[in-house]
């Protein structure tokens, strides 16, 4: 009977989730078989044994109340399956990580710091559980950014949207959003909401986005807001050399290929730069065009389209100024 149960009681071909049910049913079968052997093989009365077993069972229930609570909570979790081994969960109270194992007493969770957290099933059953891996692995992140109040909210929103769209770690669908949440005489607060494909790439996406926000703010003439409860040197200080630089010089400072040049050399190159503006959908470079100059994007996004007809001749085909599309070679 036990062998039959172990071969039949399988929940959707997931033996791990059905293990608790199998063990409980097997224990009941062995217990019933033991009483049957005593009654019919040894021909002994089982009434007194049942009464004694009942008293012992009551004592054990009170003595093992916490353990039994964990066992039955584990049974409920196995049947309801709010999470499965391999899922990334967040348990109310601060425990977060990937589920490694579910057993009778506890759930083993591997934290982001590669520590093993063993959480009792009874604690999980009473807590709020956030399953990040279900129904999909896409994960949303919300960040707060404060810009100086001298930057108009419309310009700040556009600047932050361009920074988000420039990040390859952030998904375009679902579409990211930028919302103005506060404004006063000192700063304007923005709330950025975006989505990534896997929770494991959250740190990389945030670091990349913060770097892009800094670059876009610097190139666009915007400034990050000063902390409300901290010392901050005013950007209008006469000793601030950044105010003496022109827009092209600031852009060149952000381009890695010019980092080895002296400031005077970057100033000479900046003086020869010509600023050109393009609208959404405009073509900057046609296929097979030999460029005689270098494009430096100060504000906006370029999308590279590879045409099949020139795929063998060119790595990159059309270059379009399309903020909503990103691709490259």
Does pTM top 0.85 for this prediction? no
The CA distance from 305 to 218, in Å, is: 28
* Residue 43 buriedness (CB in 10 A; 0-12 / 13-18 / 19+): exposed
Question: Backbone dihedral region of 166: left (phi > 0), alpha (psi from -120 to 50 degrees) or beta?
Answer: alpha
Q: Report DSSP state, residue 63.
A: H
- What are the two backbone dihedrals, phi and then psi, of residue 227, each rounded to the nearest 5 degrees? -65, 140
Q: Report DSSP state, residue 14.
A: B
The architecture in CATH of the region 82-131 reads Roll (2.30)
Across the chain, which has 329 residues, the per-10-residue mean pLDDT values are: 70 53 76 80 70 62 62 76 87 88 87 89 88 85 92 91 90 92 92 90 91 87 79 48 67 81 86 85 85 81 71 41 40
Of 141, 181, 185, 175, nearest to 157 (Cα)?
A: 181
The answer to whether 102 and 16 are in contact (CB under 8 A) is: yes
Q: Residue 46: what pLDDT?
A: 67
Helices within 139-262 (DSSP H only): 153-166, 202-219, 247-254
Domain boundaries, the chain: 2-63, 82-131, 139-216, 241-271, 276-329
Q: Residue 326: what pLDDT?
A: 42
Strands, sheet with 283-285, edge to edge from the N-terminal-most edge strand: 283-285, 318-320, 303-305
Q: Is CATH 3.30.70.100 what the domain over 139-216 is classified as, yes or no?
A: yes
């Amino acid at each position: 009977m036990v062998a039959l149960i172990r071969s039949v009681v399988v929940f959707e071909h997931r033996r791990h989730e059905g293990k608790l049910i199998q063990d409980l049913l097997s224990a009941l079968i062995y217990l019933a078989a033991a009483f049957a052997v005593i009654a019919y093989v040894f021909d002994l009365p089982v009434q007194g044994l049942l009464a004694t077993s009942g008293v012992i069972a009551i004592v054990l229930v009170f003595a093992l109340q916490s353990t039994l609570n964990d066992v039955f909570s584990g049974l409920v979790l196995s049947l309801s399956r709010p999470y499965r081994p391999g899922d990334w969960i967040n348990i109310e109270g601060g425990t977060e990580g990937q589920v490694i194992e579910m057993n009778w007493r506890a759930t083993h969770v591997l934290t982001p710091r590669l520590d093993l957290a063993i959480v009792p099933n009874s604690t999980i059953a009473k807590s709020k559980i956030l399953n990040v891996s279900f129904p999909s692995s896409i994960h949303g992140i919300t960040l707060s950014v404060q810009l100086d109040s001298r930057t108009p909210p419309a310009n700040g929103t556009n600047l932050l949207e361009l920074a988000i769209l420039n990040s390859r770690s952030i998904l375009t669908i679902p579409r990211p959003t930028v919302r103005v949440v506060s404004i006063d005489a000192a700063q304007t607060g923005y709330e950025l909401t975006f989505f990534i494909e896997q929770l494991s790439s959250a740190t990389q996406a945030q670091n990349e986005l913060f770097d892009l926000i800094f670059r876009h703010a610097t190139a666009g003439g915007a400034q990050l807001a000063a902390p409300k409860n901290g010392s901050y040197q005013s950007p209008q200080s006469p000793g601030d050399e950044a105010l003496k630089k022109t827009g092209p010089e600031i852009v060149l400072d952000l381009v890695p290929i010019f980092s080895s040049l002296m400031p005077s050399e970057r100033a000479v190159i900046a003086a020869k730069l010509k600023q050109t503006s393009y609208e959404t959908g405009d073509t900057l470079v046609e296929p097979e065009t030999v460029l005689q100059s270098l494009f430096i994007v100060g504000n906006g996004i370029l999308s590279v389209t590879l045409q099949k007809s020139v795929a063998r001749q060119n790595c990159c085909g059309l270059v379009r100024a399309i903020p909503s599309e990103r691709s490259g070679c």
